[in-house]
Structure 1
């Protein structure tokens, strides 16, 4: 019953506005008694006052985003009352000033004192203030604000995207901010048009006044046989009263519109914002002095000026005392924090990626110089987040005076993984061909790939390019080094929070699959461990749905975590292969000789579950043989994979990953039956047999 009642009340509230609009149309067409007019005029004044109060208390324009529509409906309401009152004035005006209701009579007698000439001038002054000053100014401000807001819209959207990619805001906050930006643009665009309502309403008020005066005089003299003077006193008083009753609410709405469009966003309402900005003693002391000097001049109104000077001086004195008290309280508040107190922020670092710069590299992140390094870091985070399938954490960039001026250090998960030296204002020239011409400069090793490189002056860039070098600047060198290290250690950046974020995202799009994945049969820790194991072997999490489906399918087998990882890899073999070679090309593979494969299997069987089951001499020979086999393909940037048995794959992958991190290791079961395979080398015996090096086509 309660639910049905709530639905009925909701439906009734939603139907109020359409019914009210229909009533306005009826009010324009159907004659109404003077009592209804009195209620309508009072309601119009009440609505105008309420709108003005809401506008003055709004902290920012979007807090009253419905104002353009409210202004339209309030204008329609006032015009409907004007039409109804015009009908009453012209039909029943000959009965006297009370014929159109007590509200019009009160405005016609009390405000203008019964003198309709005075009333005409009062109405003219109100019209000038409303139409020429307030409405015109508000309309101009609305037009300029709408233009600037629309011009700034792309930049604001890009700023939101940059904050989201930098990890400063969460997706929900980014969505809310985008909605605010769009609403702001719509609001100022609507206000630009809504200001025309106020202007048109003012013009309509003048025309209605003219119609009431001349129509009343004509009807009074011709139809009701009144004298010209009596008809003028009666109808002009009613017409002016009617115009003033409508003009006062129109003036209030114009002030509200001007207050809204000239409002600057602030956490305070307009009254508190103005009072806080006027609460400065330096502003009131000169006011007091000037008023005091004017009050002492002969012929000036001393009784008014001197008290005003005293009030301004008293305000300045009180504000000075308040400022001094605030300054005195500041040391006490600072002393409240004991110098011996130690906070968690001093002993822990919540940011897992840190880039430390020497003092000569600070210019790379200086916003006044464009911060070239920061823009590259943002691009790296965005690109790697897309490739890896989870949002990478923020990269903290800070200076470190312990480093030499041109050195930088990359720290991931608390471990310094990379450190090198770059030279702002110079370019790093890397050999693009096999044997480029020598070039003078500072010979170094490229920090990302270990290639021979040379630092040269910027003015020699063209010479280096002609000589066969690839030239990059210092920010690109640092960013590339950071990119390689983050890619290689992405598994250390994936934790329980990232795992929960993946599950939450899965719930939004595949709720049944998420429900079947966690918290039963898999805990968050198990899911995170599987994801980290995949990332450690360069398997992205972009298609987490496929990984989740594989885990749910394997759940009845109740596998331990290492076995589960291998089983998941076999289920998503197609996903792994597409990161190595395009779908339409054959997979180049390096395999092991049957005797070596048997030896590897025996070693793994002898130490089940061991992380390093191979004897040191055997492990050394395996790494050396595989390295000799894959070196030509690595140098030629060819795609390939080392393939072994499922039992040997985990241990062999760990062994090779420690020495050849760019070499993928697959098991036979991870390769789909439909995938074409091309054996390019066989490792075994004393030397690896390189069988198919020429078979690699150029499009691989």
Structure 2
């Protein structure tokens, strides 16, 4: 409850929105009321005038719109205006039949004016004029607009997939952002719905014309019966009164109908540009002096023929010739003016302009260059399948790794071989390969039953032996045990592998800032207390990059920030903070490689080797291994990985927590697929089984 005397004030915007929302229900109630309740003559005059004003407004709005969706409510407006005219016909018919015997002004001044002054009080002329208007509306304007709307709807629906792919291509190429892409998709969908609605809405006008003709016949016959039989009027007087009233009623309804039909034709027949219809017509019809001059000359010649209306033809022809001459003079003046301001070319040997920041070309964070034979894979006009796959790669990366990677900028490079492609990070090549559109890459996972003929190669993403085969051999290759993928999948898989592998390099300050803003929406206090009060942004970036380099996703940013906030006051080194964050993420890291709750089959270190490494670490925080020991460790680790993979277990090395960081850094460069975990990161509920030993046998 509010205190007495204090009124609740609603925002004006809310009041305006509520008022607009009531427009539809009020109009429906008004239409139903006109059909049911008897209306006085003055109210009929007011409503007929409103109907005429509404039709003129609709026509003007349609003339000044630049895009069809600028007047997306037109089908609904067409429906309501048709219902309004029909309800007015019902209301006026009631008044005409009840009061028509009193004179031609029985149904109001508007109907009387249309029936008397516009057709001179002659009901025969009125019938002819009415029928002509019906033919124009029904046979010409409505039929043409309906056909255009039908064809436009069909073509718009057929073009929707291409437009959607063009939007996806622009989004993947970085030309638009997600919000712009979403709006363009909505516009494409609304455009198809608009033309589909216009195709159906044109039937309203056609039905309205037929209904107007039937209403006129019924009113004349009904008026004669009422006037002669009920009121005892002479047949001639009854025919005159009721026919003039009926003609006036029909004209006052059909003229707005004709205007609305014209507006519908304007909407569906225009070509969408940045100009309204009037500007388009004037600019394209009356700006060519040659057209005006020839037309004026023809009219002058026709005006010189004896028996023709010489004054009219000569006057109009002379006006067109004068207009053509004026346009030529204006064009010559503009050309002279533009020639006067053209800068003079500097003489040979003149000093070259100074370089500016506009000459600096920034490299793309993530780029894909293709040879000319791979252009169909990335061409939106040719339904390039690779564009959709790249979009899916970015979305999957964001969901699984925890941040949005940069947009992949795609361009063709004629310096590459026709079937080659190159993937670059910050302008530096990360990977390259070949792809053959129309062929399939059969990848040998290691257990195939037969060999296939074709161009021998290797899978560019993982280096597995493969062969390019023709389309008809696809099913046979799958039977032999090959993994068969098309050319776009080859490139997309390679790109995805490289993006995931180099995720740490893709995480820049801009991405870290965006991550903090995203977390700040849910946990603002956590972000506010940590960065930059406790920890610099650069240190946080290094911690996150270190996690990504070791294959740890950063989706659980809340846990990462909590762990950093707990330790940052006493620890400032990024590597030490990363080790503490790994402990906090231990359960997730373990689940990443050993899903479920089953036994963990891992690689371990032989006891003497582990003691030797611990002694080296105790001597120096960053020890350098003796060359012989380093070579032996690398060779035995590679052999252990092979044995582990033969057993079907993931290549995971489990070591003491103090040794984990040193071994991870040492082994990552040569054995990037090996993951090094510490015992402290494994939850107490998991059971560990060492299946392979480095430096001994399990």
Give TM class, smaller chain.
0.7 to 0.9
SS of residue paired to 1:520: helix
Structure 1 residues not aligned, in runs of 5+: 692-700
Distance 1:490 1:132, change over 3 A: same
Deviation at 1:129, TM superposition (A): 1.0
Partner residue in 2 for 1:129 = 136
Say if 2:683 is the partner of 1:672: yes
Could you tell me how far apart the structure 1 residues matched to 2:151 and 2:433 are?
A: 52
Q: Given the alignment, which residue of 38, 60, 64 partners 1:57?
A: 64
Partner residue in 1 for 2:600 = 587
Deviation at 1:351, TM superposition (A): 1.9
Aligned partners of 1:281 and 1:317 also within 8 Å: yes
Deviation at 1:663, TM superposition (A): 0.9
Distance 1:83 1:662, change over 3 A: same
Which piece of structure 1 moves more, 131-140 or 383-392? 383-392
Aligned partners of 1:353 and 1:394 also within 8 Å: yes
Distance 1:463 1:307, change over 3 A: same
Deviation at 1:141, TM superposition (A): 3.0
Say if 2:564 is the partner of 1:551: no
SS of residue paired to 2:280: helix
Could you tell me how far apart the structure 2 residues matched to 1:653 and 1:221 are?
A: 109
Aligned partners of 1:420 and 1:447 also within 8 Å: yes
Could you tell me how far apart the structure 2 residues matched to 1:406 and 1:9 are?
A: 61
Deviation at 1:114, TM superposition (A): 1.4
Q: Given the alignment, which residue of 353, 374, 379 partners 1:340?
A: 353
Distance 1:304 1:479, change over 3 A: same
Distance 1:105 1:376, change over 3 A: closer
Which piece of structure 1 moves more, 439-448 or 71-80? 439-448
Distance 1:332 1:584, change over 3 A: farther
Distance 1:130 1:643, change over 3 A: same
TM normalised by structure 1 equals 0.83
Distance 1:249 1:422, change over 3 A: closer
Distance 1:313 1:484, change over 3 A: farther
Distance 1:217 1:388, change over 3 A: same
SS of residue paired to 2:658: coil
Could you tell me how far apart the structure 2 residues matched to 1:404 and 1:195 are?
A: 56
Partner residue in 1 for 2:401 = 388
Distance 1:598 1:463, change over 3 A: same
Q: Given the alignment, which residue of 7, 10, 14 partners 1:4?
A: 10
Deviation at 1:90, TM superposition (A): 2.2
Kindly report the root-mean-square deviation, in angstroms, between the aligned alpha carbons of the 2 structures. Answer: 4.2
Could you tell me how far apart the structure 2 residues matched to 1:613 and 1:586 are?
A: 35
Which piece of structure 1 moves more, 575-584 or 663-672? 575-584
SS of residue paired to 1:681: strand
Distance 1:109 1:442, change over 3 A: closer
SS of residue paired to 2:530: coil
Q: Given the alignment, which residue of 572, 576, 600 partners 2:589?
A: 576
Could you tell me how far apart the structure 1 residues matched to 2:43 and 2:584 are?
A: 78
Distance 1:373 1:195, change over 3 A: closer
Which piece of structure 1 moves more, 201-210 or 654-663? 201-210
Could you tell me how far apart the structure 1 residues matched to 2:422 and 2:11 are?
A: 66
Deviation at 1:119, TM superposition (A): 0.8
Q: Given the alignment, which residue of 183, 200, 212 partners 1:176?
A: 183
Aligned partners of 1:581 and 1:640 also within 8 Å: no
Partner residue in 1 for 2:530 = 521
Structure 2 residues not aligned, in runs of 5+: 1-6
Could you tell me how far apart the structure 2 residues matched to 1:158 and 1:458 are?
A: 25
What are the equivalent positions in structure 2 for 1:192-591 lying under 5 Å apart? 192-278=199-285, 279-280=287-288, 284=292, 287-288=295-296, 290-291=298-299, 294=302, 300-313=308-321, 325=334, 329=338, 340=353, 342=355, 344=357, 346-357=359-370, 377=390, 380-381=393-394, 383-400=396-413, 408-419=421-432, 433=446, 447-450=460-463, 478-506=491-519, 511-513=521-523, 515-523=524-532, 525=538, 527-541=540-554, 544=555, 546-552=556-562, 554-558=564-568, 559-560=571-572, 561-583=574-596, 585-591=598-604
Could you tell me how far apart the structure 1 residues matched to 2:313 and 2:609 are?
A: 107
Could you tell me how far apart the structure 2 residues matched to 1:370 and 1:638 are?
A: 41
Say if 2:662 is the partner of 1:655: no
Distance 1:301 1:645, change over 3 A: farther
Could you tell me how far apart the structure 1 residues matched to 2:28 and 2:483 are?
A: 71
Which piece of structure 1 moves more, 659-668 or 303-312? 303-312
TM normalised by structure 2 equals 0.83
Partner residue in 2 for 1:93 = 100
Deviation at 1:679, TM superposition (A): 1.0
Partner residue in 1 for 2:121 = 114
Could you tell me how far apart the structure 2 residues matched to 1:126 and 1:478 are?
A: 64
Could you tell me how far apart the structure 2 residues matched to 1:557 and 1:108 are?
A: 92
Deviation at 1:392, TM superposition (A): 3.0
Say if 2:641 is the partner of 1:630: yes
Distance 1:201 1:372, change over 3 A: closer
Could you tell me how far apart the structure 2 residues matched to 1:586 and 1:299 are?
A: 110
SS of residue paired to 1:675: coil
Partner residue in 1 for 2:693 = 682
Deviation at 1:660, TM superposition (A): 0.9
Which piece of structure 1 moves more, 433-442 or 208-217? 433-442
Q: Given the alignment, which residue of 648, 652, 662 partners 1:641?
A: 652
SS of residue paired to 1:680: strand
Which piece of structure 1 moves more, 458-467 or 157-166? 458-467
Deviation at 1:188, TM superposition (A): 3.0
Aligned partners of 2:441 and 2:468 also within 8 Å: yes
Aligned partners of 2:96 and 2:107 also within 8 Å: yes
Could you tell me how far apart the structure 2 residues matched to 1:115 and 1:59 are?
A: 43
Aligned partners of 1:409 and 1:416 also within 8 Å: yes
